[in-house]
Amino acid sequence: MAKRILVLSGNPKAVSFSGQLAEAYKDAAQRGHEVRIHRVADMAFDPDLDAGYARDKHLEPDLAAFQDSVRWADHLLITTPVWWGALPAKLKGVFDRTFLPGFAFKYQKGKLIPDKLLTGKTARIVMTMDTPPWYYSLFQGAPALKQLKIATLEFCGFARVRSNMLGPVISSDAARRAQWLEKVGRLGDEGK
């Protein structure tokens, strides 16, 4: 069944391996699905939610377009590097600025947990790292994955958030990177 898929290339660098993964997924997904792609490297916005939710901050055109794509999508693919165990600041800024009350969740008086407004959507997170993924998970606790999967996407209603951690990228050769690109392409072809 064809899906509406949003690809978010989360590396703030214009040229990156995680960006190549996003393109491989997009190219494969376009064969059987509707696809939109947003590249954090190309987005112009202030990533800082400097007043929290105390006052509204006008969404720049790139953020408004991203919100529109989130509404439209059935499935979200996010590719991102892991820097210092966490998400790149500009990628986190995309979520800080767009997954707002009234869009992604809604507080209700007397309820401890807000209503989830982005239900009915699925997601996959593809993370690249220079640390071996087993080490990142076992010894560091995979904080970026937990933040994005549990505290952001699932908190707002995404279901079946799957993930792949690829690495170490820094010591990988061309053959290994080609395998990763092929694997992510297959996921795009399947819309997963």
Model confidence at 28, pLDDT cuts 50, 70, 90, reads very high
Q: What is the mean pLDDT of residues 39-66?
A: 94
Look at residues 14, 28, 13 and name the one whose alpha carbon lies nearest to residue 77.
Answer: 28
DSSP one-letter string for 24-74: HHHHHHTTTSEEEEEEGGG-------TTTTSS--PPPHHHHHHHHHHHH-S
- Report percent pLDDT > 90 for the chain: 95
Round the average pLDDT of the chain to a whole number and report it: 97
Supply the pTM of this predicted model: 0.96
The stretch 165-178 carries a mean pLDDT of 98
Write down the residue that tokens 């690249």 correspond to: 128
- State the pLDDT confidence band at 185, using cuts at 50, 70 and 90: very high
pLDDT at 190 exceeding the cut of 90: yes
Q: What's the average model confidence in pLDDT over 13-18?
A: 97
- Across the range 67-91, mean pLDDT stands at 98
Residue 35 above 90 pLDDT? Answer: yes
Q: Which residue ranges make up each domain of the chain?
A: 4-190
Q: Does domain 4-190 have CATH number 3.40.50.360?
A: yes
Q: With cut-offs at 50, 70 and 90, classify the pLDDT of residue 1.
A: confident
